[in-house]
Amino acid sequence: MLNLRERLMLTHKGHSDLKKAIIACTITNLSLMLPFGITIQIFVELLKPFMGETISWTKMWIFFGLGIIAAVLVFLASKNDYKKTYIASYMESEANRTRIAEHIRKLPMSFFNAKDVSELTTNIMGDCSTSEHVLSHIIPQLLANAISITVICLGLAAFDWRLALTVFSTVPIALLIIVLSKKIQNRLSEKHVEAKLKASDQVQEYLEGIKVIKSCGLDGSKFSALDNALRYMKQMAIKLEFGTGVFVAGAQIVVQAGVGLTVFAGTYLLTGGKIELIPLLMFFLIVVRIYGPILTELTLLPELFYMQTSTRRMRRLISTPIMEGDTEKEIKNYNIEFENVSFSYTGNLAPEETVIKDVSISIPANGITALVGPSGSGKSTLSKLIARFWDVNKGVVKIGGIDIKILDPEYLMDYMSFVFQDVVLFNDTIYNNIRIGNMDATEEQIMEAAKAACCHEFVNNLPDGYHTKLGENGSTISGGERQRISIARALLKNAPIVLLDEATASLDPENEVLIQQAISKLIEGKTVIVIAHRLRTVVSADKIIILDKGRVLEEGTHDELLREKGLYERLYSIQNENLGWSI
Ligand SMILES: Nc1ncnc2c1ncn2[C@@H]1O[C@H](COP(=O)(O)OP(=O)(O)OP(=O)(O)O)[C@@H](O)[C@H]1O
């Protein structure tokens, strides 16, 4: 059974802040009764002439003064309440977002395989916003209302317990209606959240595929998946509103029936001489006032149920186990060994799902090892296993004799640099994009890395030089330039192991030469694993490993492999023939 803190996904500070917010909100609610109490006293005073008494102006002035004091008290209480509820809830929401983002960073890649980015965005932004709203607007109000209603109820009971009982007699029935409808509301909330997710997923796909949509002459209405998702979301939103509205309206009618009952009971007591007219009128006034907070309670409860759907999703995410390990064990040499490694992306080692099959290889330190093989043979997967992006399902991967499964993935990353085909650049300046390689680097070191990666010249030709913003994923510069920035980043990191995914897309000769120069600098004296697509680039590698359908087929140097006359020799001669290909 989860406690309130766990249910609402609160930090310890958030939990204690919430308690303070509830107290502050209760004080505000009770302070709001002061002007009301004073108004009633004035009302009693004004009725005196009808009872044959005279109005006391001294009392009226005192009430006037008290009214001003009450207004100041309400202002102070509201100010305190505002600070305690809103500021605290936004701070809590920020803490939660950071906590989720931190957690996501440490999750295994298998998690991302099963999740869409839009779902995670919804987790970080949408679910946190829902809980932020509930923490700031719903829970403090809900509990404070409940406390002040109870206090007033006790006050009324002290005045006349029979009438007080009548006033509140319908409240339990109304609450029962809301509580019993919780299951239906939860189901509708789940469906609504699911529909929102689907819609945001489709919007993302639509925006990412905008080039294809334009080039194929499709328009929004023809993009039926998006259309359907938006329509479904609309339907679910209406269903949720309707499903909730029916129960809330029903419960509110039941509560308001209490007014009629009170009037009926009051008149009965009055005619029986058990209550005076003026106290009864005062009672009626209070009753009208007290129903406001009760009706509000009934509308706030469904919002609390809706929040539970969001927090349930956040809890699921935050309880997904992260990849952890040793952060101090020093790797003394960079020999990489695969010992009987099998791996499948689903975790199931059934033959049709296994993409790496019983691989045992050795990648020597301080040399260049090329991974070669047909498309889908498992080259990229092997490199991902070295970086512990995924954990192997069978066997071990060792670096310097240490099983990498015992190392913390982020710590392991300190030993590695990557140059992938799909370069990831951030919407920031070129300078900051390079600096990601080593956040402690000096300006001089950053410039040096940029020069070594052949970036300096093109960067200097940009209007703002190193301070030019790159747009989303470096959309404002060419593919070759993007690649060189990523090499500068890797150079700055200066990690002992370099994983290189050779670009498949053809670059113009000038770019190719520049990238080649940059890479030569990057791999100097390092342990290099290169995923090679063009075999002429691996001729001088110290070791070439040929993969086919997840198995190691051949190993050796270029000359040895040519002599073997196996798959490598076949692929090499096919690529040589194609060199003469032209249009
Ligand atoms: N994230 C993933 N989830 C599930 N299966 C994957 C994933 N990535 C790759 N695969 C599958 O694993 C197998 C090996 O893929 P991998 O990318 O390692 O091959 P590759 O030799 O690098 O191919 P290419 O040269 O075309 O890049 C393929 O069948 C591929 O479909």
0.80 exceeded by pTM:
no
Q: Which atom of ligand 1 is nearest to the CA of 382?
A: 18
Give the mutation target among 112, 345, 371 for probing the ligand 1 site: most ligand atoms within 8 A of CB: 345
**Is residue 375 in contact with ligand 1, taking CB distance under 6 Å?**
yes
Distance from chain centroid for Cα 116: 11
Residue 380 CA, ligand 1 centroid: distance in Å: 7
**Is residue 420 in contact with ligand 1, taking CB distance under 6 Å?**
no
Q: Whose CA is nearest to atom 29 of ligand 1?
A: 376
Give the mutation target among 117, 338, 379, 383 for probing the ligand 1 site: most ligand atoms within 8 A of CB: 379
**Is residue 58 in contact with ligand 1, taking CB distance under 6 Å?**
no
Task: Provide the edge-to-edge strand list for the sheet that holds 354-363.
Answer: 354-363, 336-344, 394-399, 402-403
User: Could you give the CA distance from residue 490 to residue 416 in angstroms, rounded to a whole number?
Assistant: 9
User: Could you give the CA distance from residue 257 to residue 259 in angstroms, rounded to a whole number?
Assistant: 5
Q: Whose CA is nearest to atom 7 of ligand 1?
A: 345
**Is residue 378 in contact with ligand 1, taking CB distance under 6 Å?**
yes
Provide the 10 A C-beta neighbour count for residue 152: 20
Q: Could you tell me if 408 and 324 are in contact, meaning their C-beta atoms sit under 8 angstroms apart? A: yes
DSSP string, 67-98: HHHHHHHHHHHHHHHHIIIIIHHHHHHHHHHH
- CATH number assigned to the domain with residue range 1-319, chosen from the 4 options 2.40.50.140, 1.20.1560.10, 1.20.1250.20, 3.30.70.890: 1.20.1560.10
Q: Which atom of ligand 1 is nearest to the CA of 547?
A: 21
User: Could you give the CA distance from residue 178 to residue 185 in angstroms, rounded to a whole number?
Assistant: 9
**Is residue 322 in contact with ligand 1, taking CB distance under 6 Å?**
no
**Residue 506 pLDDT:** 54
**336-577 — its CATH code?**
3.40.50.300
Provide the residue ranges of all domains of the chain, joining segments of one domain with +.
1-319, 336-577
Residue 250 CA, ligand 1 centroid: distance in Å: 57
Residue 378 CA, ligand 1 centroid: distance in Å: 6
Residue 535 CA, ligand 1 centroid: distance in Å: 19
Q: Is the backbone of residue 385 left (phi > 0), alpha (psi -120 to 50) or beta?
A: alpha
Which residue is listed with tokens 């310097």? Answer: 400
Local confidence pLDDT in tens for the 583 residues of the chain: 567 777 777 888 888 888 888 899 889 988 888 888 898 888 888 888 887 888 889 999 999 999 999 999 999 999 998 888 888 888 888 888 888 888 888 888 777 776 777 777 777 777 888 888 888 888 888 888 888 888 888 888 888 888 888 888 899 999 999 989 988 988 998 898 889 888 888 888 888 777 777 776 666 555 678 888 899 999 999 999 998 899 999 999 998 888 889 889 989 988 988 888 877 887 887 777 788 888 888 888 888 888 888 888 888 888 888 888 888 888 888 999 999 999 999 888 888 889 999 999 999 999 999 998 888 899 999 999 998 988 999 999 999 999 999 999 889 988 998 888 777 888 888 899 899 888 999 999 999 888 888 888 888 888 888 898 887 666 678 888 888 888 899 889 989 999 988 765 556 667 777 777 888 888 888 899 999 877 777 888 899 999 999 999 999 999 898 898 888 888 888 877 654 433 3
Residue 187 CA, ligand 1 centroid: distance in Å: 38
**Is residue 381 in contact with ligand 1, taking CB distance under 6 Å?**
yes
Which residue is listed with tokens 């009548």? Answer: 166
Q: Could you tell me if 480 and 508 are in contact, meaning their C-beta atoms sit under 8 angstroms apart? A: yes
**Residue 464 pLDDT:** 86
**Is residue 110 in contact with ligand 1, taking CB distance under 6 Å?**
no
Give the mutation target among 349, 381, 499, 531 for probing the ligand 1 site: most ligand atoms within 8 A of CB: 381
Q: Which atom of ligand 1 is nearest to the CA of 371?
A: 21
Give the mutation target among 342, 353, 380 for probing the ligand 1 site: most ligand atoms within 8 A of CB: 380
Long-range contacts of 36-39 (CB under 8 A, 24+ apart): 36/289, 38/63, 38/66, 38/67, 38/70
**Is residue 113 in contact with ligand 1, taking CB distance under 6 Å?**
yes
Would you state the torsion angle of the CA atoms of residues 272, 277, 283, 287, taken in this order, to the nearest 10 degrees? 80
Long-range contacts of 472-477 (CB under 8 A, 24+ apart): 472/427, 473/423, 473/424, 473/425, 473/426, 473/427, 474/423, 474/425, 474/433
Task: Provide the edge-to-edge strand list for the sheet that holds 551-556.
Answer: 416-419, 497-501, 527-531, 368-372, 543-548, 551-556
Which ranges of 135-223 would DSSP assign to H, the alpha helix?
A: 139-159, 161-168, 171-180, 182-208, 210-215
**Is residue 114 in contact with ligand 1, taking CB distance under 6 Å?**
no
Q: Whose CA is nearest to atom 10 of ligand 1?
A: 345
**Is residue 379 in contact with ligand 1, taking CB distance under 6 Å?**
yes
What ipTM does this complex have? 0.97
Residue 381 CA, ligand 1 centroid: distance in Å: 6
**Is residue 445 in contact with ligand 1, taking CB distance under 6 Å?**
no
User: Could you give the CA distance from residue 93 to residue 129 in angstroms, rounded to a whole number?
Assistant: 7
